Amino acid sequence: MIEVIEKVQDLLVSMPGVNYVDENWGQLDYYSPNHPVKWPCILIDINQMRFTDIGMDRGATPKNRQQGEFNIELRIANVKLTNTSGRAPASQKSQARSIWLLVKEVHKLMQGFEAGDKYGKLIRTGLSRVAREDGVQEYVVFYSGSASNV
């Protein structure tokens, strides 16, 4: 799965306007004004894998081969410092809602992406908002994929 994380990171780091792309090790869980990220950021994690046996290959190690299905979680976050109320200036609202453009651009890159020969195409399976009390606007986008002979 190291290949998947590295390839996804390489893909996302090329996005203009994204200042931090890393594996998720809890950077956004530190509720302080000094998160160890640069905004906006994308954090990558593989949060679940399921395996099924597909037979044996006596020339491989391990001999028992498996097919895997996995879920990738992308946390897309930014500090929301501007107002989006109905009477706020349009430029302010546009800046505050820029995270949705980021979610859209991430999806353009991720949907159908293949990390290598033994990995299937990534397919978006969900999106959810993370409720926070610190001014960070955070969304989680989920993608599923498959791996052969792992």
Q: Alpha helices of 40-120 — where are they, by DSSP H? A: 90-96, 98-110
Q: Where do the H-state alpha helices sit in the chain?
A: 2-13, 90-96, 98-110
- Give the start-to-end residue ranges of the domains of the chain: 2-147
For residue 143, the model assigns a pLDDT of 98
Q: What is the pTM of this model?
A: 0.89
Tens of pLDDT, residue by residue over 12-63, are 999 999 999 999 999 998 767 788 999 999 999 998 999 998 888 888 888 8
pLDDT for 91-117, tens place per residue? 777 777 889 999 999 999 999 999 999
Q: How far lies 79's CA from each of 29, 34, 41, 75, 144, in Å?
A: 14, 11, 10, 13, 27
Class of domain 2-147: alpha beta
pLDDT at 144 over 90: yes
pLDDT score of 32: 72
